[in-house]
């Protein structure tokens, strides 16, 4: 884009621009700068952007698609699924207690993996898990037919999805329909000894209900990379819970080079009058 003129806000940004590239802007950004063509969110999740009161109406919002995150998310998810499948937690405890305690081999066909979400990241996770022969399913707002992946859609199908999943991986955006989706009823629907891995948005999980399910022994373990409030407060019960693993929102980080290339390609397409992917449905929140 040799003809493009780049400006920083705050700084030398003019009162009007064609495109804005933003990440968690404050309320003053759009009061001081009018965006005419499109707003590019420099991340996959748009919940923070949609919450800005001064966000202009009628201007398309474009989210990042993959931008190097899919491979990272797949790495993280595969690691956690295999850790659960191979009972690594059991062997760590046995070592600490000085016990030689082998377990019988599991049949992968009996170890269902459920992915909450069906977008680019969820597809990458499903593809990465395919060689291990686990029954894989996704759950989303609407059905998505893909080879080798069972699709569940709608609230009515959530209990059945959870009941067949030994590991539930959260990859959903934060919307009014997903906040608090994993609550006491959802955890009760999961098989005894199930694992929860949340990598999408922290408000998917009701913290108190998750702790109760872990303490009751119904859930075996939870791995959490995202939280309702970040950074996680020092006094939160998750920090020192023996059945919780915490990472600080690092499961997938946008790659700068891929981000720049993707945004530039989409701006060039818009300038040619061509359609682009990744446009956010404000009503749905993603």
Question: Three-state SS for 206?
Answer: coil
- Please report, for residues 31, 47, 49, 50, 62, the alpha-carbon distance to residue 55 in angstroms, rounded to integers and kept in the order given: 8, 12, 8, 7, 13
Active site residue 195: no
Active site residue 249: yes
Length of the chain: 286
Q: How many beta carbons lie within 10 A of that of residue 39, not counting itself?
A: 23
120 backbone dihedrals φ, ψ, rounded to 5°:
-60, -45
Select which of 249, 272, 282, 284 is catalytic.
249
Of 223, 220, 285, 214, which Cα lies nearest the Cα of 249?
A: 223
Select which of 63, 83, 166, 201 is catalytic.
201
What is the Cα–Cα distance from 162 to 152, expressed in whole angstroms? 10
On whether the CB atoms of residues 50 and 285 are closer than 8 A, the answer is yes
Q: How many beta carbons lie within 10 A of that of residue 201, not counting itself?
A: 20
On whether the CB atoms of residues 61 and 39 are closer than 8 A, the answer is yes
Q: Which residues are catalytic?
A: 201, 249
């Amino acid at each position: 884009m040799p003809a493009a003129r780049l400006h920083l806000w705050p700084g030398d940004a003019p009162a009007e621009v064609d495109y804005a590239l933003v990440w968690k802007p404050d309320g003053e950004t759009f009061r001081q700068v009018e965006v005419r063509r499109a707003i590019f969110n420099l991340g996959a999740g748009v919940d923070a952007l949609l919450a800005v009161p001064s966000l202009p109406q009628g201007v398309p919002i474009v989210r990042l698609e993959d931008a190097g995150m899919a491979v990272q998310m797949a790495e993280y998810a595969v690691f956690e699924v295999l850790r659960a499948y191979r009972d690594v937690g059991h062997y760590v405890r046995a070592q600490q207690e000085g016990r030689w305690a082998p377990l019988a081999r599991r049949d992968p066909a009996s170890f269902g993996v459920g992915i909450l979400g069906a977008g680019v990241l969820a597809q990458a996770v499903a593809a990465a898990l395919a060689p291990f022969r686990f029954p894989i399913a996704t759950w989303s707002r609407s059905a998505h037919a893909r080879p080798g992946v069972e699709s569940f859609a709608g609230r009515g199908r959530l209990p059945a999805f959870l009941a067949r999943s030994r590991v539930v991986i959260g990859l959903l955006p934060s919307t009014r329909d997903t906040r608090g989706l994993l609550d006491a009823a959802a955890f009760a629907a999961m098989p005894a000894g199930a694992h929860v891995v949340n990598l999408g948005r922290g408000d998917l999980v009701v913290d108190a209900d998750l702790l109760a399910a872990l303490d009751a022994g119904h859930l075996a373990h939870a791995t959490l990379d995202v939280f309702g409030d970040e950074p996680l407060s020092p006094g939160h019960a998750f920090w020192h819970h023996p059945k919780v693993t915490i990472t600080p929102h690092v499961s997938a980080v946008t790659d700068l080079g891929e981000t720049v290339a993707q945004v530039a390609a989409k701006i060039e397409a818009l300038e040619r009058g061509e359609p682009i992917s990744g446009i956010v449905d404000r009503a749905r929140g993603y």
